[in-house]
């Protein structure tokens, strides 16, 4: 009886499967059906789901070109000029872990590691035993250089060492991309055509910086050296410093509230940090 029922059920299930396969259209068989929570997705929804995982092409970044000189002094540069920046350098995804690695690596390299103490073998003194080993009722004690006595050596004290850590070059380059991109997103990155400053007086530069609202700013030049006029005028201004793009560290880019680059510095960063952009793949269904 049970075997007859099993045979009957098997024949009915096979006939139902044949009816389902013959009733299915070719369009429905060309794309595998996706079922989520007992709801069948259409082919259009399947395509949208797959394409949502593809990273879109990053558009270029545009920043208004500023001027360190006053408009009447810098007449050759047009107003409201826009600079196009490489998205692989100035629009990188923010990675706080990469910034942390670069900052710790830089701070470790600044540690001197010159702390030193004397052990019991370095302290001057006699090797005579302080008191007998037994009979006094006190603890056992050796010579006068013991760390338990005043004037003795230091147990497990610091010794000169190298605190510097190793970090791959590509990680440091990614950290610079992330730092520059964070400055762009925070609207704290300024770009000027040139950092040339004619007057070496600090007062004129301080007034111009106050007009632009560039207090606490690090000026970065893309040339071999910072222009002499700007370097002399900014040497006495509080929290205003100058450096070159070659000497800029990730720690400096993170520490300073504002960065001001000239066009030469932008070209230097794009030349050394830019990556080839791979266009998104075309998916056919």
Which tens digit of pLDDT belongs to each residue from 75-86?
Answer: 555 556 889 898
Res. 6: pLDDT tops 80:
no
Region of poorest pLDDT, from 16-30, 149-163, 207-221 = 16-30
Adjacent-strand bridge partners of 189? 259
Residue 130 corresponds to which tokens in the numbers above? 């302080």
**For the structural domain made of 61-111+166-273, what CATH number should be given?**
3.40.1370.10
- Measure the CA–CA gap between 24 and 35, rounded to whole angstroms: 17
- Measure the CA–CA gap between 219 and 18, rounded to whole angstroms: 76
- Measure the CA–CA gap between 152 and 155, rounded to whole angstroms: 9
Residue 35 corresponds to which tokens in the numbers above? 């079922």
- Give φ, ψ of 9 to 5 degrees: -65, -40
Res. 220: pLDDT tops 50:
yes
Residue 4 corresponds to which tokens in the numbers above? 């007859």
pLDDT band for 43, please (50, 70, 90 cuts). low
Is residue 208 a contact partner of residue 139, using CB atoms and an 8 Å limit? no
Region of poorest pLDDT, from 31-40, 83-92, 104-113, 145-154 = 31-40
Q: Span 273-281, mean pLDDT?
A: 73
- Measure the CA–CA gap between 243 and 118, rounded to whole angstroms: 42
Res. 16: pLDDT tops 60:
no
Return the SS3 of 270.
helix
Region of poorest pLDDT, from 62-76, 90-104, 241-255 = 62-76
pLDDT given at position 18: 45
- Measure the CA–CA gap between 281 and 73, rounded to whole angstroms: 50
Please report, for the chain, the start and end positions of each structural domain, with discontinuous segments joined by +: 61-111+166-273, 127-162
Res. 96: pLDDT tops 60:
yes
Between 279 and 234, whose confidence is greater?
234
Average pLDDT, the chain: 81
- Measure the CA–CA gap between 140 and 137, rounded to whole angstroms: 9
Is residue 254 a contact partner of residue 103, using CB atoms and an 8 Å limit? yes
pLDDT band for 117, please (50, 70, 90 cuts). very high
Q: Span 104-129, mean pLDDT?
A: 94
DSSP state of 196: -
Between 3 and 92, whose confidence is greater?
92
Query: Strand pairing of 240-244 and 217-221?
Result: parallel
Residue pLDDT, tens place only, 159-213: 999 999 999 999 999 999 999 999 999 999 999 999 998 887 899 999 999 999 9
Res. 146: pLDDT tops 50:
yes
pLDDT given at position 70: 81
Return the SS3 of 190.
strand
CA 62 vs. chain centroid, Å, equals 21
């Amino acid at each position: 009886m049970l075997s007859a029922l099993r045979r009957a059920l098997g024949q009915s299930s096979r006939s139902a499967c044949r009816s389902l396969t013959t009733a299915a259209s070719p369009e429905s068989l060309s794309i595998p059906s996706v079922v989520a929570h007992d709801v069948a997705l259409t082919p259009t929804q399947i395509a949208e789901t797959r394409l949502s995982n593809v990273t879109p092409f990053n558009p270029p970044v545009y920043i208004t070109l500023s001027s360190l000189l006053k408009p009447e002094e810098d007449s050759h540069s047009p107003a409201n000029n826009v600079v196009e920046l490489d998205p692989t350098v100035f629009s990188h995804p923010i990675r706080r872990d990469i910034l942390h690695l670069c900052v710790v690596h830089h701070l470790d390299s600044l540690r001197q590691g010159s702390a030193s103490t004397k052990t019991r073998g370095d302290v001057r003194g006699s090797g005579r035993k302080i008191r007998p080993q037994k009979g006094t009722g006190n603890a056992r004690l050796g010579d006068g250089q013991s760390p338990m006595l005043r004037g003795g050596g230091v147990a497990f004290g610091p010794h000169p060492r190298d605190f510097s850590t190793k970090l791959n070059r590509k990680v440091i380059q990614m950290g610079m991309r992330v730092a520059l991109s964070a400055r762009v997103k925070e609207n704290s990155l300024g770009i000027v055509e040139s950092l040339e400053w004619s007057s070496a007086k600090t007062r004129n530069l301080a007034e111009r910086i106050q007009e632009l609202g560039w207090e606490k700013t690090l000026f970065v030049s893309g040339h071999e050296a910072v222009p002499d006029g700007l370097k002399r005028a900014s040497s006495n201004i509080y929290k205003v410093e100058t450096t070159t793009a070659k000497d800029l560290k990730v720690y400096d880019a993170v520490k300073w509230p504002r960065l001001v680059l000239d066009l030469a510095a932008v070209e230097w960063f794009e030349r050394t940090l830019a990556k080839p952009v791979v266009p998104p793949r075309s998916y056919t269904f």
